[in-house]
Amino acid sequence: MKKYTLYSWNVNGIRAVSGKEVLPGISFPQFLIHEKPDILCLQETKADSHTLPPEITRIPGYFFYINPAIRKGYSGVAMYSRTEPVSIERGGLSPEFDTEGRIIIARYPEFVLLNVYFPNGGASDERLAFKLRFYDAFLEKIKAMQAAGERIIFCGDVNTAHKPIDLARPKENEQVSGFLPVEREWIDRVIDAGFFDSFRLFSDEPEQYSWWDYKTRARARNVGWRIDYFFVNAAVRPFITGAGIRNDIMGSDHCPVTLTVEFP
């Protein structure tokens, strides 16, 4: 059996989180050694490899990959992997989206993994339209990959809570980006295309969140949203052995979400 433990985490700045205690007595670089994930996907890294110190980019036992936005200090994704992927692709949707450094695609012998930082639509009508175009382009990409027979896992900050159970105050947020009907309907389309929200395969419990607003100190009251996901297609589903939310891990306004898969 080949087992993979995957983590996905919006760190809200990789430099910022690297200086914080994410578990009692454990800093971010030590976190990888402590938790030993096979793959750690990060979103909203806000950095490029040239500006990061070696204690972040050269953690013993891990290969490191990063896809920064052209705009400095904005967006970006990164990935740590204990085994070297067969291939790495940065971007791959279209020039409109690829300048923002939102995707790393890593191929492994057993599956293909897409680490994605989906756009936030809250800043303006223009950014909401951009988010929806990104959603559509991404769905077309994974549908094409699925049609080609790929085993697909995609993870990241989707920036949308799917159902009322996925946020603390659904009624108050019905007209807020992140819980708009048009955004939620896109997740329905992902599921209709044959993908599964891995966490909900294991838990139907409420009050399970991955993001809390910093300004209102919402985490202390668990007034949160579940907007970070691992989705898998039907070709991967039989191999899932666990999925979870690590709300004990601090350092960001998000916490990591996890997935464990075992292939024969």
In tens, the pLDDT along 112-127 reads 999 999 999 998 999 9
The mean pLDDT of 135-161, rounded to a whole number, is 98
The mean pLDDT of 177-201, rounded to a whole number, is 98
In tens, the pLDDT along 205-257 reads 999 999 999 999 999 999 999 999 999 999 999 999 999 999 999 999 999 99
| Residue 204: domain span | 2-263
Q: Give the tokens for residue 159.
A: 């920036």
Number of domains forming the structure of the chain: 1
pLDDT band at 59 (very low <50, low <70, confident <90, very high): very high
d(CA 78, CA 162): 25
Task: Check pLDDT > 90 for residue 27.
Answer: yes
CATH code, 148: 3.60.10.10
**According to the model, what pLDDT value does residue 123 have?**
85
d(CA 82, CA 40): 9
One of 98, 125, 136, 157 is an active-site residue; which one? 157
Share of the chain above pLDDT 90, in %: 98
Mean pLDDT of the chain: 97
The mean pLDDT of 25-31, rounded to a whole number, is 94
pLDDT band at 50 (very low <50, low <70, confident <90, very high): confident
d(CA 87, CA 105): 8
pLDDT band at 49 (very low <50, low <70, confident <90, very high): confident
**According to the model, what pLDDT value does residue 175 have?**
96
253 is catalytic: no
